[in-house]
Amino acid sequence: MGVDPDALLNAGKGRGKSSATTVGDRRRVTTHFDDGSEMVEEYATATAELVVRKTRERTALGGEGPWVYEVGEPPRPGFDPTSHVMQENSQNPVFKRQDTRNDFCWRIRNLPYPRETYDVFVDHAEQRIVVRTSNKKYFKKIEVPELRRLGLRIDEDAVKWTWKNNTVIVALAKPEEVLIAERETARERSKLKDEKEECKQQ
């Protein structure tokens, strides 16, 4: 089966133009797509591991929409004593995606219920992974945008999960098509000249 590596990240968005820069211990790749949307990826410079991927679309009025995090999590706002907005409870469940080389991986922290409370399964109609508790305290549908973009379905046999230290960890083995596409996009990414390095040469 042929794989279009571009579809892994930008299906339906048109061709994108990417630039790269190094900020601290991360390499940031910013891509602007033909439809006006934008994607920012951050990779650990030491391991090339994807740490953050966030996207945003243009609004109906042409402005910039909010960032949507596919990988990683948004920074939490600091405490503002003058703000009238209620602060988020630090004990609320925290959902974060952080992949490994071979697996999509999601962590849901602050879930203190016994292991037998959790039910993790695939909703085949919606093509999402569902995490729910029998006590109705938590419910989450997990989308895998890379599979949707490539036209692939979730293989329920490839889903594994565990619970430890009040954290549910869900892993989905990446199908071969995704691994091939990721290798291709990594090769293209390695060809980008770092803007920080270019500035040094001038």
pLDDT digits (tens, 9 = 90+) for 71-108: 998 887 655 555 555 555 678 999 999 999 999 999 99
> What CATH number is attached to the domain comprising 137?
2.60.40.790
Question: What's the pLDDT score for residue 81?
Answer: 54
pLDDT band at 35; cut points 50, 70, 90:
confident
User: What pTM was computed for the model?
Assistant: 0.80
Helix boundaries (H) for 118-175 = 145-150
Please report whether residue 176 resides in a domain. Answer: yes
Please report whether residue 2 resides in a domain. Answer: no
Please report whether residue 26 resides in a domain. Answer: yes
Please report whether residue 122 resides in a domain. Answer: yes
115-130 confidence digits (pLDDT tens)? 999 999 999 999 999 9
Between strands 103-109 and 118-123, the pairing is unpaired
Question: What's the pLDDT score for residue 200?
Answer: 43
Which residues, in sequence order, are CB contacts of 169 under 8 Å at separation 6+?
105, 106, 107, 108, 161, 162, 163
Q: How many domains does the chain have?
A: 1
- Give the integer Cα–Cα distance in Å for 55 and 67: 6
* Domain enclosing residue 188, as ranges: 7-75+92-201
Please report whether residue 81 resides in a domain. Answer: no
- Over residues 19-48, the mean pLDDT reads 91
